[in-house]
Amino acid sequence: MDTKTATTDKQAGPTNAWDQPVVKCSIPHKFTNKIVKGNCVEIMKELPDGCVDLVVTSPPYDGIRVYNGCSYDLHATGEQVYRVLKDGGIAAMVIQDQTKNFAKSLTSFRTILDWCDNFGFRLFECVIYRKHGTEGAWWKTRFRVDHEYMPIFLKGNRPAYFDKAPLKVPSKHGGKIMSGSGNRRTDGTTTDTVRREINAKKCRGTIWNYLMAGDKNKLKQQHPAVFPDAIPFDFIQCFCPPNGCVLDPFVGSGSTAVAAKRLKRNYIGIDISGEYVEIARKRLRAIPEVLI
C-alpha cells in the first residue's frame, strides 16, 4: 500500500460487479492512513472533491451518550460527506433514536430525508443491525430494543464498486434438492414451480446479525458507544475497491479504520475528542504491519 497517497488505479479486466473502470484520485499525505483530531466538518473541507470511495460511521445522536461534551452537526456533515465521495460512492451510517416520553425522536428518519432531499444522496438500502444481547430486557413499559438502523446512501446512479460475495450467509437447506413455487407476478399469478439443488450459501438480506459491540477489546471499550468491528469490515468488503479509501468522520474507538487496515484499504479517521483519537491510534498500532 502506498502510504503517501491513497490511489485507486485502473486495472485490466473486471474491476467490480459492474465491470467499470475505477477512477484514480489522490488524497493529501497528511490525511492518508491517519487519525486526525478536529471538527469533522472543518477537516473534510480540506479534502478534495470526489476523493473517497466509502464512508462508514456512527454519529453521536440525541445525547444518548456523553462524548466529552463534543458537539456535532449532522446536516453539515452530510453536505461534506457527499462532496468528498466519488461518483458511485457509498456512505453507510449506524444510527438509532432516543425514546423520550414513550416516543421516538425520529432523528434517524430526519437524517435520511435531510441527506437525500438536500444533498443529492439516494437511499440505496436501509439495513437493520440486529443486536444480540439484553439491552432493555428489564423494561416493563417498552419493547426490548434489539436493533439499529444502517441507512446506505448512494452518490450517483449506481455503486461504483459492489461485491456482495463475501457477505453471503449459509443456506438453511444448502445441498438439498427442493421444490418451490415461482415468483409472484404483478398480476397476482406465479411463475412455474422449480426443483433444484439449494446453494450452500445465499445472498444476505437486509437484517444483519452481530454480537459483541465491544468485541471483548478492553481498549475499544473505553469509548462510551461502539459498534462491532464486523460492521465496517462487511461494508468495506462490499463497497470499497482494493486500494480504495474509507472515511469515518466520527471515528471514535477506530473500528472503521481498523477494519480498513486489516482489509488493506486506505483510511481517514476524524474525531474531535483527543482521548478517542488516541484510542483509535493505539488500536491501529496493535495491528501487525505485515497485514498492510
Contact indicator for 114, 77 with CB cutoff of 8 Å:
no
Put residue 72 in one of left, alpha, beta given phi > 0 → left and psi -120 to 50 → alpha: beta
CATH 3.40.50.150 domain range(s) in the chain: 34-166+204-291
34-166+204-291 architecture in CATH? 3-Layer(aba) Sandwich (3.40)
Residue 23 confidence (pLDDT): 47
245 bridge partner residues: 266
Residue 136 confidence (pLDDT): 61
Residue 210 confidence (pLDDT): 87
Which pairs from 8-17 meet CB under 8 Å and 24+ separation?
8/53, 8/241, 8/242, 8/243, 8/244, 8/245, 9/243, 15/161, 15/241, 16/160, 16/161, 16/162, 16/163, 16/241, 17/161, 17/162, 17/163, 17/164
Contact indicator for 132, 146 with CB cutoff of 8 Å:
yes
In order along its 292 residues, the chain shows pLDDT tens digits of 333 334 333 333 334 554 544 445 578 889 999 999 999 999 999 999 999 999 999 998 766 445 455 567 999 999 999 999 999 999 999 998 988 889 999 999 999 999 999 999 999 999 999 987 666 666 788 888 889 999 999 999 999 999 999 999 888 877 788 877 667 788 878 887 888 887 888 899 999 998 765 555 555 454 445 678 899 999 999 999 999 999 999 998 899 999 999 999 999 999 998 998 999 999 999 988 755 4
Distance separating alpha carbons of residues 143 and 219, to the nearest angstrom: 31
